Structure formats: C-alpha cells, structure tokens
Amino acid sequence: MLRFLLGRVGLLIPTFLGVTLVAFSFIRLLPGDPAELLAGERGISPERKAEVMEQLGFNKPYWQQYIDYVAGIFQGDLGVSFASKKPVLDEFLTLFPATAELALCAIIIAICLGIPAGIFAAVKRGSVADQAIMGTALVGYSMPIFWWGLLLIILFSGILQWTPVSGRISLLYFFPQVTGFMLIDSLLSGQKGAFLSAVQHLILPSIVLATIPLAVIARQTRSAMLEVLGEDYVRTARAKGLPPHQVVGLHALRNALIPVITTIGLQVGVLLAGAILTETIFSWPGIGKWLVDSISRRDYFVVQGGLLLIAGIIMVVNLIVDVLYGLVNPRIRHT
Amino acid sequence: MKMRNTLKATLLGASLAVLVATGASAKTLVYCSEGSPEGFDTALYTAGTTFDASSKPLYNRLVEFKRGTTEVLPGLAESWEVSEDGLEYTFNLRKGVKFHTTSYFTPTREFNADDVIFSFGRQLDKDSAWHEYTAGASWEYFNAMSMPDLIKDIVKVDDYTVKFVLTRPEAPMLANLAMDFASVLSAEYAAQLAEAGTKEQLNQQPVGTGPFSFVGYQKDAVIRYATFGDYWNGKQPIDNLIFAITPDASVRLQKLKAGECHVMPYPAPADIEDIRADSNLTLMEQQGLNVGYLAYNTKVAPFDKKEVRKALNHAINKQAILDAVFQGSGQSAKNPIPPTMWSYNDAIEDDDYNPELAKEMLAAAGVEDLSMKVWAMPVQRPYNPNARRMAEVIQADFANVGVNVEIVSYEWGEYLSRSKDEERDGAVLLGWTGDNGDPDNFLAVLLGCDAVGGSNRAQWCNEEFDALTQKAKTITDKAERTKLYEEAQVIFKEEAPWATIAHSVVFMPMSSKVSGYVMDPLGGHWFDGVDISE
C-alpha cells in the first residue's frame, strides 16, 4: 500500500510542474495587458505604461518571471493581486471556504440522491420509473446553469418566498470569520437564528450546483449496476437464496461503486467550473467569480496563483480517490 | 501579537455593528451593489464601483460636487482664492472637522493641512514613503488627469491654509479636486500604521471624514458602514449603510422586489417596464454624462475629406440604433458633449438621416465602391450597451449608400490599444463618460491635438478647434469659457471627425420606502441625505 501511495504522490510532481507552466502561460497568452485595461478609454501613454509594467515586474523576460513565480511557490508566496493589493494566497484562503462549503453540500446532495436513483433505475430496468429517472437525469445534465439558477430564484424566492434570493447569510447577522464555513461559523457565533439563515441561503445554490453531478452520478451508477447485476456471482448469490436487498446492497453495489467513485472524483473539477456561474447568480463570495474577474482585468498573479491552487486541490482529491479506489478494489494497488 | 490585535479589532467591530444593527430605532439601508471594491484607498483605483464603496461614503474632498450636479461647492475647504495668473489656488480649510473613530483608530486631532499635504503628496512625490506603500501601488487617476505635470508644489501655509502652485493655468483644476482621487485621508492614521509596520491597512481599513464610517468588509459579499455622528455636515437620517454585493442584474432586481435591498444600480434594459409597473418600486432616471460615437480615422483616405465623413453621417439612422441597441434608454447625440453639460450648444443642427443626400455627397467627393471597417467593442459600456448590434445597424445603413462595411473586433485591452494607432484601418465605435463635469474633459481629452495617437481616436487635429479649447482652459470666467466651447462645437460639427451616436439614460430602481436619493450625473452612487421609512 505504501509503494502504491508513494507512486501516486510521485506522479503529482511532474503534473504540478506542468500546471505551473500552463497557469503561467495561459494568462500571458491572452491579448491585452493590465495597464491598458486599467486606463480604459482614456488610454495610457507608452512611458506611463512602461512605468506601470516595470513596477509590477512584467517588463522582465518571461523566463525570469516564470522562475520568480516557481521560486515564490516554494516560499509560499504567490504574489500580490494587482487589484486589491493583497497577497493572492490570503485572498484564496478567505474565499475558498465559501466555494468548498457550497461544493461539499452539492456533492453530498448529488451522491445521496444520485446513487439511490441509479440503483433503483438499474433494478427496475426498462420500467417507467427507470425511464423517468434517466430522462430527468438527461435534462439535468443538459441544464443551462444560469437559466436554471434564475428560474429557481424567481420561483422559490420571488413567487413563493420560501428561500432568500442570494448571499450566504441574512445581513442581520454579522460575526467574525473563524473557519470560513458559514454553517460552522454561524453555530460558533451563538447568534439565534444564524445557523438556520445560513442553511436557508445554501439550499438553492447547492441544488443548482448539484444538478449536473447528480445527473452524471445517477447515470453512471445505473450503468455500473447493470453491468454487475449481469455477473455470475450475482446470479450465484440469488441462486443461493439471498434476499434481493442483500444481493444488490452487498454484492452488486460494492463492485459497482468502483467506477462511481472515479466519477465522483472527476466531478470535483466540474463543481469548481460550475461554481463560477453559481457564485455569480447567487452572489456567493467564492473563488469562481474571483478568478473570472481577475482574468478579465488581467490580474496575472491572481490567475496564475489561483489556477495553481485549484489544480492542486483537484490533484489531491484525485489522489484521495485513487487511494479509496485501492481500498475498495485491492487488485488496483498491486498493479 | 499583530494577529491577536486584528482579531480583537474585528471582534470589537463586529459587536459594535451588531449593537448598532439591533438598536431599537436603527434604520438600515441596503444597497445591492454591482461589484466588489478593489480596495478602500480611492486614489489607487479608477473603477466607479470602488469609488462608490470608498470615496463617496467614507471621505471628503477640498471641494465637492453639489448633489446631483457638477457644480463645485466648498467641502473640506471653506473657501478658496485663485491668483490672477491662475497659477496659485489657496484653500482655507474648514475647522472642527473630525475623522472617524473606529475599532482600529482613535484620532487625537481634527482635520488640518497636514492631511491635505499627505493625501496629495504621496501621489505627487515619487520619493514619498507612501508613494509605493503597498505592492503595485500606482496613482492612475492622478496621472491620467495630468496632475504630476500640472502641480508644481503643494505648500502648507499654516494649519488651516494650503496652497497649490501650478505649472500652467488650468480652469478645470477645481473640478479635478472634487474627483474621487482627491479624497483626503488622515495623516495621523497613516503615521500610526507606518509605526506599526502595517501600511497596507490604509487600503483595507479606511479612516475618513465622510458621512459614514467603515465597519467591515467580507470580501465579495458585504460592506458595512455606520453613520458618523460627528460628521461636519450633519448626521445622516439612516444609522447603517450596507452594500450587498450582487453581480447579476436580474438577481439584484429579485432582491429589491423581495425587500432584501432598497436601492440597486444598473437594471437590465429588459426589466425597465416591469420595474415601472411595480407599485412598490420607484424608478429614477437621468441622462448620463456620456457620449457614444463612431470615430473615423481622419488621417487615412478617404476619411481625411470632411465631405466623406459628413456624407457617412447622413447615412446613419440614429433612431434605428436607439430602438435596436438602447431600447428606449438612449437619446440621439448631435454634439460631442451631453446636453446636461454646461456650454452644450443646442443651436447646432444635427446631420439628418438622408441616404439620398449621402449618396450624392459621396459621388461629389469622388468616392465610389468604398469598403471600410467598422470596429465594434467587445464589451458593454454605459454609452454603448451593444456595440456589435450597433455596428450591424451601421453596416446596413452604409450598405444603403453603396459603402461596404466589414465589422471587426478585438479583446477589450487590445481594442483600446490598437484603436489608438494613427494608421488604423477603419472607424471605431467607442465613447466616454465624464470625470468631472467640465467640457474640457470631453473636448480636449477626446479631440485635442495632444491626444492624437491616444484618446483622440479620430486622430483629428484641427488648429482652430484646438486653439479654442486650449484658450478656454486658461480662463476661469465660466461665461467666457462657455462661448469658446460653443464655437468649438460648431467647428466639430462642420468637420465631423465623429458620427455622434447617442447619450444613454441611466436608470436607478429603488424601494418606494426610500426618500432623498439624488442621482449623480457623473454616475456615482451617494447615500448621504438618503432616508428610509419603516
């Protein structure tokens, strides 16, 4: 197991270096530069532009900027945001808990609904229920997030007034950020009603963000289950008289879960991408909106630092998935 | 230790805010702002969203724009004198002005000349310890308004008198000093931060003299302010002001309707009718201090001939553009300055929509089978909500008079940069929003000879026009300046370096409970004097 783990970690190093190169090049390949965008319609004189670029260190040769960037990473310094003048890492750590909280809620919803729905559809293969579940999953998978979010807001917040429109908590509550996770911080604050308000604010954005992963997990579970249900050992289990819930729950599900776990791991990237739109609609102060704004104002350090951190998180999640995979399926860790 | 202090300060601030918010008669106004401020030291930035959250609620300037106008009134300076040669501006400062007391700063003295010297000195003096006090600090607006060339010296005459010495007479100087970058910060607070080695806090935890004091900012979510009881211009009717950052226009409207906020900026044009129909909402509207235009490149044939430019102006159906692009939130433009600006020459007649005349004029100018490029901006701006659509209407209009148009576009930064090129191929769609309400800020900045290769996208240098605007800049008498600018507009219309397209109308929806809100012609959002009923 240790060799397996070391091998997986070893693979991360070249991937990480590749990510630094991609993150660094990506923002510089885009046309336009921060000085021009800052000046807007008025324009900026070539002399002033040279001054600004020098001050920001963007006048150095690219290779030197890259070396500075990588050297900074090893010292925990990702540079300072051109806009806010704050260290990129500080901004990321302030905003990331909001994204993580939303993504966690979304993935929990997706797993709790997606796996049972997939199992049910597989067991009742060909039935009306199966078709209804798979049809709904297809609709969910194809759902334009922005439109879906607005639709839910108009219905549940506007017409029915069941949920708040946007934000993380009611403006009435104001307490210092301890963990950055609003559900935890609202409990720690001890203010009456704060936790409930945080939960209410999480409902719609979590549903919106969970929609696509839910559909994917449901479809993946169904197809994995169908494959496993056709195997000899399932037939044997049935033949020896095991009750159906044991056949499905114990024998089939454990094996069917292997590809499903991989899918869930891959959904982390999807969640972070979906967070950009969800955060914009629900005024959710996370890293998605922060990165998009930074790209549009060519805030080089934020983009290269933010992308690296996100890529790092996805890599770690995938490592965890690999390890889980190894635990669920012992054959994997011996190959 | 530092961290513990920060935590203590945050906790104090938090408890203070909760106390204020839960007070029996506390009035809280929530503004659904469209974006996040980049920071709170206004002079470091150029974005209106940042100004709304920093300079407007928190700070004052030596002079201020009268609410809802571009008229300059006394602010932190009670009065001022301008020397006869126009080179010296002496400001007599207001006494008894207090800075905010917050959880992180308790002032020991009132506002005085040191604060003015500090606020401008750090922008002007490259050797100042505060010139690069935070990473990437640059004073773009100060530079853009040519202040480093214009200000020779700032002298503290005594504790309540400050003198600005200029290198040349500059009539718009007073208006410039009412702009956001000229906000006055506390020198005492800056010294305290310098001593503690936390200079960058000047941009994160602001202290000013304005109507509201800073309570806290949760990045990209909420900014909280409390009314400043000792404000020199009187206490505000509301107790708390909250900015709930809500980037999407449709969501802002839903929040407004649900009562989660009371005022919102920038509604989607499609929602205007819905807002008008809602009896719980009030819709304020005002002409924006802006202009959207199509700038020909007057240095490149055949657009170097004014007859060709005139002919093309006659080919454009502005009403069709107003209908298709502005959807009722625009007004046809005939001059390069908006009608709400002083010196607007209303006697000028616009080039009417007359394709037949355009064809004749093109033929008379010897232009046949003309093909040209029209540049469409990739972004939405107040003066042009949809440049691509506008370019398509112009393309169809020009096709009617036998001119073939190819529409081109670039990424915004690239667009701004390439459109400055004097050899540029094609006419450019662009526009301008006024900075300070002075006509010089449109006419000289956008059409002056000095701006060719820069913000003068028509690359148009007309000596007569330039002489008029340059002269107007050196005179302080407004009536005299008005005459000169009116004449300049006549020359502009005859020469037609641009097709002037439209001035937009700005809408501001709010709850009908809100009273006292005044729209700012310069596009800012102010909450002093605003009240809300229970």
Helix (H, G, I), strand (E, B), or coil: what is residue B107?
coil
Contact B126, B416 (CB under 8 A): no
How much is the pLDDT for B11?
40
What are B158's strand-pairing partners? B161
Q: How close B158 gets to chain A, by Cα (Å)?
A: 34
Both tokens of residue A44?
Answer: 């900026």
- From first CA to last CA, the distance across chain A in angstroms is 11
φ/ψ of residue B232, rounded to 5: -60, -25
How much is the pLDDT for A332?
67
Using an 8 Å CB-CB cutoff, list chain A residues near B35: 293
Chain A residue with minimum CA distance to B418: A32
How much is the pLDDT for A327?
77
How much is the pLDDT for A66?
92
Average pLDDT (B261-284) is 93
pLDDT at B216 over 90: yes
Average pLDDT (A9-27) is 88
Contact A206, A274 (CB under 8 A): no
State the pLDDT confidence band at B497, using cuts at 50, 70 and 90. Answer: very high
Of A80, A174, A283, the CB nearest to B251: A283
User: Of all residues in chain A, what percent carry a pLDDT higher than 70?
Assistant: 99
State the pLDDT confidence band at A334, using cuts at 50, 70 and 90. Answer: low
Of A40, A56, A85, the CB nearest to B416: A40
Q: What span, in angstroms and rounded, lies between the C-alpha atoms of B113 and B95?
A: 10
Chain B residue with minimum CA distance to A281: B248
pLDDT at B24 over 60: no
Does residue A205 have a cis bond before it (omega within 30 degrees)? no
How much is the pLDDT for A10?
85
**Per-residue pLDDT reduced to its tens digit, B288-312:** 899 999 999 999 999 999 999 999 9
Q: How close A315 gets to chain B, by Cα (Å)?
A: 27
Contact A280/B414, CB-based, under 8 Å?
no
Of the two residues B164 and B2, the one the predictor is more confident about is: B164
Of the two residues B137 and B116, the one the predictor is more confident about is: B116
Using an 8 Å CB-CB cutoff, list chain A residues near B220: 95, 285-286, 289-290
Q: How close A213 gets to chain B, by Cα (Å)?
A: 24
User: Of all residues in chain B, what percent carry a pLDDT higher than 70?
Assistant: 95
How much is the pLDDT for B526?
97
pLDDT at A259 over 90: no
Q: How close A73 gets to chain B, by Cα (Å)?
A: 18
State the pLDDT confidence band at A266, using cuts at 50, 70 and 90. Answer: confident
State the pLDDT confidence band at B8, using cuts at 50, 70 and 90. Answer: very low
CA distances from A291 to A166, A275, A315, B70, B296 (A): 20, 11, 19, 37, 37
Contact B354, B396 (CB under 8 A): no
How much is the pLDDT for A333?
62
Q: Which of B138, B377, B433 to mutate to test the interface with A (most CBs of A within 10 A)?
A: B138
Using an 8 Å CB-CB cutoff, list chain A residues near B18: 174-175, 191
Q: What span, in angstroms and rounded, lies between the C-alpha atoms of A317 and B260?
A: 37
Average pLDDT (A280-301) is 90
Contact A36/B413, CB-based, under 8 Å?
yes
Using an 8 Å CB-CB cutoff, list chain A residues near B246: 166-167, 283
Helix (H, G, I), strand (E, B), or coil: what is residue B324?
helix
> How many other C-beta atoms are found inside a 10 Å radius of the C-beta of residue B164?
23
Average pLDDT (B506-527) is 95
Average pLDDT (B123-145) is 89
B243-254 burial code (b ≥16 CB/10 A, e <16): bbbbbbbbbbbb
Choose the weakest-confidence range: A129-133, A260-264, B185-189, B316-320: A260-264
| Interchain CB contacts (distance < 8 Å): A and B | 148
Contact B224, B212 (CB under 8 A): no
How much is the pLDDT for B25?
66
Using an 8 Å CB-CB cutoff, list chain A residues near B222: 167, 171, 174
One-letter identity of residue B62: L
Q: What share of chain B is helix, strand, coil (3-state, %, to 5)?
A: 35, 20, 45
> How many other C-beta atoms are found inside a 10 Å radius of the C-beta of residue A21?
12
pLDDT at A89 over 90: yes
State the pLDDT confidence band at B34, using cuts at 50, 70 and 90. Answer: very high
Contact A31/B258, CB-based, under 8 Å?
no
pLDDT at B513 over 90: yes
Q: Is B136 left (phi over 0), alpha (psi -120 to 50) or beta?
A: left
What are B502's strand-pairing partners? B292, B332
State the pLDDT confidence band at B180, using cuts at 50, 70 and 90. Answer: very high
Contact B416/A31, CB-based, under 8 Å?
no
**Per-residue pLDDT reduced to its tens digit, B448-490:** 998 898 899 999 999 999 999 999 998 888 999 999 999 999 9
Q: What span, in angstroms and rounded, lies between the C-alpha atoms of A323 and A320?
A: 5
How much is the pLDDT for B502?
96
Using an 8 Å CB-CB cutoff, list chain B residues near A85: 38-39, 44, 134-137, 200, 203
Contact A150/B257, CB-based, under 8 Å?
no
**Per-residue pLDDT reduced to its tens digit, A229-242:** 888 888 888 888 88
Average pLDDT (A119-136) is 92
**Per-residue pLDDT reduced to its tens digit, B354-375:** 999 999 999 999 998 999 999 9
The structural domains of chain B, ordered by start, are 28-245+513-532 (3.90.76.10), 290-506 (3.10.105.10)
**Per-residue pLDDT reduced to its tens digit, A209-229:** 999 999 999 999 999 999 998
Average pLDDT, chain A: 88
Average pLDDT (B271-295) is 94
Q: Which class in CATH covers the domain with range A95-297?
A: mainly alpha
Choose the weakest-confidence range: A290-294, B203-207, B315-319: A290-294
Verdict on whether the full-model pTM lies above 0.80: yes
Of A44, A80, A174, the CB nearest to B14: A174
**Per-residue pLDDT reduced to its tens digit, B379-392:** 888 899 899 999 99
**Per-residue pLDDT reduced to its tens digit, A165-178:** 999 999 989 888 89
Chain B residue with minimum CA distance to A84: B38
Using an 8 Å CB-CB cutoff, list chain A residues near B216: 174
How many residues are given for chain A? 335
Q: Which of B416, B422, B429, B455 to mutate to test the interface with A (most CBs of A within 10 A)?
A: B416
Both tokens of residue B509?
Answer: 């929806």
Chain B residue with minimum CA distance to A287: B220
Average pLDDT (B71-77) is 95
Using an 8 Å CB-CB cutoff, list chain B residues near A56: 136
Of A39, A290, A298, the CB nearest to B140: A39
Contact A283/B144, CB-based, under 8 Å?
no
Contact B258/A41, CB-based, under 8 Å?
no
Q: How close B232 gets to chain A, by Cα (Å)?
A: 29
Contact B7/A95, CB-based, under 8 Å?
no
Q: How close A96 gets to chain B, by Cα (Å)?
A: 11
How much is the pLDDT for B12?
40
Of A38, A86, A166, the CB nearest to B255: A166
Of the two residues A316 and B154, the one the predictor is more confident about is: B154
CA neighbours closer than 13 Å in the CB half-sphere of residue A135: 7
How much is the pLDDT for A150?
93
Using an 8 Å CB-CB cutoff, list chain B residues near A283: 221, 244-248, 251
How much is the pLDDT for A32?
76
Average pLDDT, chain B: 92
Q: Which of A283, A284, A302 to mutate to test the interface with B (most CBs of B within 10 A)?
A: A283
